[in-house]
Amino acid sequence: MAAIVAGFGMPHNPGSPALVARDGPQCETARYYAQMAKHIEGAAPDVLIFFTDDHFNTFFLDNFPTFAIGIADATAGPNDQTPMPQYKVAVAGALATHIRTNAIAHGFDISLAQDFDVDHAVMVPLHFLTPGMKIPVLPIFINCLAPPLPTAQRCFALGQAVREAVESWPQKQRVAVIGSGSFSLEIGGPKIPIGDRAACTPDPQWSQHVQDLVKEVRIDELVAESTAARMLQAGNIGGELLNWIALLGAIGPRKPVTVLPQNDHGQAFVAWRLN
């Protein structure tokens, strides 16, 4: 039987590969990703399930699903202009098919993507976690950007459905689940101060509050508080918290083993070990 053995939440800033290349392995971002990579190595997963959003690169507004799952032999990316190497990585297609079947049985109308590449939301974390791209991935896309967003309750339930599907998979596989994204981020929007750069962190206090609830395993409160209006208050990219909430549904209520905050950027690196 398959089992979820670890969970990870982390950002996917497209500038991180270039930043680390410039500042070296001792910079904070490099050190934080390195700690996550050590947890990945220790958990020894056979598959990485990604709860991720797409930044209008794999999908666009003419065909933008609320939930979708990638089912293929392999994928590649990043399919945007992120300054980093291009990679190809295997996809756990059989497990993805099983999860989609089970999710539909649980009432989730989850779309199917069979011919797809992925953007920096998947590839930036993989660049640091598994640069050899030897662990197959399984991307589950959540609409975190284009209103109306799914509710936090629905995303949490999706994570629970994924966990049930993994646990019913007859093959013996170790699965790690990753929630990719930020808590507070505004890109090109009105919350950016005049004359400032193209992105900012409107609500670092919300970022810290999210982490406090996660550390204290107050997940019901986090789900209840994460309304569309509250996430938008934290920035027009604040809906990426939904990827983390789906992750929390998949791993169940438990304390993280590592929490590395970057509240000035509205984000954090968090690890859970289930075994």
Supply the CATH number for residue 50's domain. Answer: 3.40.830.10
The string of pLDDT tens digits covering residues 246-267 is 999 999 999 999 999 999 999 9
Give me the phi and psi of 82, to 5 degrees please.
-60, 125
Q: How confident is the model at residue 193 (pLDDT cuts 50, 70, 90)?
A: confident
Measured N-to-C along each axis, helices 93-105 and 152-167 cross at an angle, to the nearest 10 degrees, of 120
Q: How far apart are CA 109 and CA 217, in angstroms?
A: 29
pLDDT beyond 80 at 187: yes
Q: How far apart are CA 83 and CA 199, in angstroms?
A: 17
Q: If you average pLDDT over every residue of the chain, what do you get?
A: 96
Please report the pLDDT score of residue 250 as a whole number: 98
- Across-strand partners of 231? none
Task: Answer whether residue 269 is part of any domain.
Answer: no
Task: Answer whether residue 222 is part of any domain.
Answer: no
- Burial (CB count <10 Å: 0-12, 13-18, 19+), residue 30: middle
pLDDT beyond 90 at 34: yes
114-131 mean pLDDT? 97
163-190 mean pLDDT? 96
Task: Answer whether residue 23 is part of any domain.
Answer: yes
DSSP assignment, residue 189?
S
Q: How confident is the model at residue 198 (pLDDT cuts 50, 70, 90)?
A: confident
Q: First CA to last CA across the chain, in angstroms?
A: 14
The string of pLDDT tens digits covering residues 125-175 is 999 999 999 999 999 999 999 999 999 999 999 999 999 999 999 999 999
The total number of structural domains that make up the chain? 1
Q: How confident is the model at residue 176 (pLDDT cuts 50, 70, 90)?
A: very high
Find where tokens 């019901």 sit: 220
Q: How confident is the model at residue 196 (pLDDT cuts 50, 70, 90)?
A: confident
253 contacts 222 by C-beta, under 8 angstroms: no
Task: Answer whether residue 148 is part of any domain.
Answer: yes
pLDDT beyond 90 at 72: yes
Domain range for 134: 3-180+242-255
Measured N-to-C along each axis, helices 28-43 and 16-23 cross at an angle, to the nearest 10 degrees, of 110
Strands (E), the chain: 3-10, 47-52, 67-70, 74-77, 87-90, 111-113, 137-142, 174-180, 186-187, 199-200, 258-262, 267-273
Task: Answer whether residue 212 is part of any domain.
Answer: no
Task: Answer whether residue 275 is part of any domain.
Answer: no
Q: Are strands 74-77 and 111-113 parallel, antiparallel or unpaired?
A: unpaired
